Each structure stands twice: as structure tokens, then as C-alpha cells.
Amino acid sequence: MKQTPRSQAPFGVRFAGGAIESLFRAWRDASADWAVDIVDRASHGDLPRWLAALERLPDIRSNEVSMGAVVGADAAGVTTAERKRLEAGLRGLWPWRKGPFDLFGIAIDSEWRSDLKWSRIRPHVDLGGCRVLDVGSGNGYYGWRMLEAGAKAVVGIDPSLLYALQHAAIGYYVDRGGARNTVLPVGLGDFPVAGKFDVVFSMGVVYHRRDPLAHVQSLASHAHNGTVLVVESLVVDHGPLKPRARYARMRNVWTVPDVAMICGWLADAGFGDARVVDVSTTTTGEQRTTAWMPYESLASALDPKDSKLTVEGYPAPKRAVIIARRN
């Protein structure tokens, strides 16, 4: 397929392609042609709206960048008109599921307080100098936190094109076209990079897979001996729970395991030394409806008479973090 010339491409295509090329050159990959025109080849009814939103974003040069709990950028002298354009462009990319972000005073209050989850994981994993694969990355929020924690480079993969474009918008201001944190709109099965990573994350993915063991085995294919694997998942006390139709209003939840099942999958895929570092009940303070994600969220998924149950009568969402190492 003929490529859009880089100088004429929409903001998102131009930025995302350049970042991908730079990343794979740094990793001495012979060719990243498969990735350069992902957005050009994508087919989605909302794509024109999303690209128009990216084109609205003003060209502001940041002089302050944060990769802390609130990821963002700031600069002196930003005009009211620029902030209005910025907010309009960012709102054109909603719903924002992961965050929070703040760009030049425009606070993006995402559905998930992703900083809370990261605070439970960060003390238990050493990312210093590591190449990281983040499977189910969403818009790349965690990738910025991983860089803050010392990672050398992060590749996030998520089949949602919207998340990749949200990442392009954030990255333009936070990393100015750099390649240290990249989000590609592909699933794990379509990710054609054979390289091995030092740390692999799979957060909020395994229960969406019809064959969870196959998912963990796919993660193992991107690991070398000693690679650390971080799996975060919905869990129940005595699994597996196989929802009849929906779980917490979600249709594509196939198996909610217990912790022992996850550890078994890890062992079967060649990972050892599994340890459970956190088990936490999800609260409506961590996952909620906001102005940037105005649709139903956790509160609508819980039994109004008993918050320990979902509306379907299953145990309310609880999540565990398990860390293991490739043997």
C-alpha cells in the first residue's frame, strides 16, 4: 500500500510512524515497515474524527515534563486560545480510560486512577535499564511511569487504535516525538517482533482470553532466561469463575481465576518463583465515571444493595498482581 508522505501525513500518523522507526533502529531491527503505516491501513468509522482531533492540537513546546502520578507537560506563556484548542483536541479523543494526565493546565481525569494500581506494583519490580513489553497497554500511561522508574524503552501493544492516537497526543508534548515509550495498535498475536524483553507486563488481559494458558505462553515467547513477568488480573477466592454472559457488565470475560490458577499457568509456561505481591478490591474511587469518560463505570456494575456483588450476582471485582521469572 502506498504510504502517506511523512510531511503530509496527519499528526498521529507522522508522529507514531517516526517513533516506531526510531525505536526499532535503536534495537537494530532490520525493518519496521510493518509498523510505519499502521494508522494509514487502519479501518475505523471514527478515524476521521480522531485524526481531526489530533490536527487541532497546538504546537506548544514544553519546558517542564512530569512522568509521575500525573503524567504531563507545562510551559510558560501558553495562551488561552492555545489551551482551548488543546482541550478541544483532547476531548475529541475520548473516552480516556487510563491516566491521569495534565497538559498545560488541561487536566484529563480518566476513568481509572491508574496511578493507584502503579503504586501497588512499583515497589516490587526493578526496571532499571530494562526493555519492557506492556501487553494491553491502553494509551501508554504505564509506559511513562516505567520510564520514570528507570526503564530504557517501553513498547506497549493494544489493539485499540484510539489508545495509540491518545498516546501520540500525550507523547508529542511529553517526549516530543521520542521513541522511548511507544504504543502500537496491535494485539499480542499480531505483534511480529521476535526480540526478547527484560520485563513483560500483562495487566487486565488474561481474563479476556478464551485460552488463558495460551496467552501466558505467548508472553513467554517474548522472554529470555531471567525475564520478569508481571501479571495483573481479576481474581476470585475460589476459581475459576466462568460468567454465563457478563461479569460486571463486561461481555468478554471468559475466566476469572484464583491466584493459584494463575501461578499454575505461569509454571506451565516456564516461569518460576511466582509471588503474589498485591490483592486489592477495586473501589469506585479508583474506577469511576468522569467528565473525560462519561459512560457507565464500576458503580453501575455493582449490586446497588450489596457492593460486594456485581449486578449479575458474582463477587465484586478484586485484582491480584503476581510476579514471576522465566526459568
HEC secondary structure over 162-207: HHHHHHHHHHHHHCCCCCCEEEECCCHHHCCCCCCEEEEEEECCHH
Asked whether the beta carbons of 75 and 104 are under 8 A apart, the reply is yes
Q: How many domains in the chain? A: 1
Q: Give the pLDDT confidence score for residue 186 in this predicted structure.
A: 85
Please identify every stretch of the chain with a pLDDT value under 50, giving residue numbers as ranges.
1-32, 34-36
**In this predicted structure, what is the pLDDT of residue 2?**
34
Q: How far is Cα of residue 29 from the mean position of the Cα atoms in its chain?
A: 23
- 4 belongs to a structural domain: no
On whether residue 290 sits in a domain, the answer given is yes
Q: What is the 3-state secondary structure (H, E, C) of the chain?
A: CCCCCCCCCCHHHHHHHHHHHHHHHHCCCCCCHHHHCHHHHCCCCCHHHHHHHHHHCCCCCCCEEEECCCEEEECCCCCHHHHHHHHHHHHCCCCCCEECEEECCEEECCCEEHHHHHHHHHHHCCCCCCEEEEECCCCCHHHHHHHHCCCCEEEEECCCHHHHHHHHHHHHHHCCCCCCEEEECCCHHHCCCCCCEEEEEEECCHHHCCCHHHHHHHHHCCEEEEEEEEEEEECCCCCCECCCCCECCECCCCCECCHHHHHHHHHHCCEEEEEEEEEEECCCCCECCECCECCCCHHHHEECCEEEEECCCCECCEEEEEEEEEC
Residue 43: inside a domain: yes
Specify the pLDDT at position 48.
86
Which CATH number is 220's domain given? 3.40.50.150
Question: How many Å apart are CA 147 and CA 137, to the nearest integer?
Answer: 14
Note the pLDDT of residue 100: 99
Residue 40: name the closest of 64, 8, 69, 86 by CA: 8
Q: Is residue 109 part of a domain?
A: yes
CA-to-CA distance for 198 and 125, rounded, in angstroms? Answer: 11
What does the pLDDT read at residue 47?
Answer: 82
pLDDT of residue 128: 98
Give me the domain span that covers residue 201. 11-326
- The rounded distance, in Å, linking the Cα atoms of 234 and 315 is 11
Task: Give Cα 164 to chain centroid, integer Å.
Answer: 9
Q: Is residue 1 part of a domain?
A: no
Distance (Å, whole) CA 34 – CA 150: 28
pLDDT of residue 29: 40
Quote the pLDDT of residue 121. 99
Residue 2 located in a structural domain: no
Establish if 6 belongs to a structural domain: no
From CA 22, how far away is CA 158, in angstroms rounded? Answer: 20
Structure confidence at residue 7 (pLDDT): 31
pLDDT value at residue 253: 98
One-letter amino acid at 144 equals W
CA distance 128 to 239: 35
pLDDT given at position 166? 95
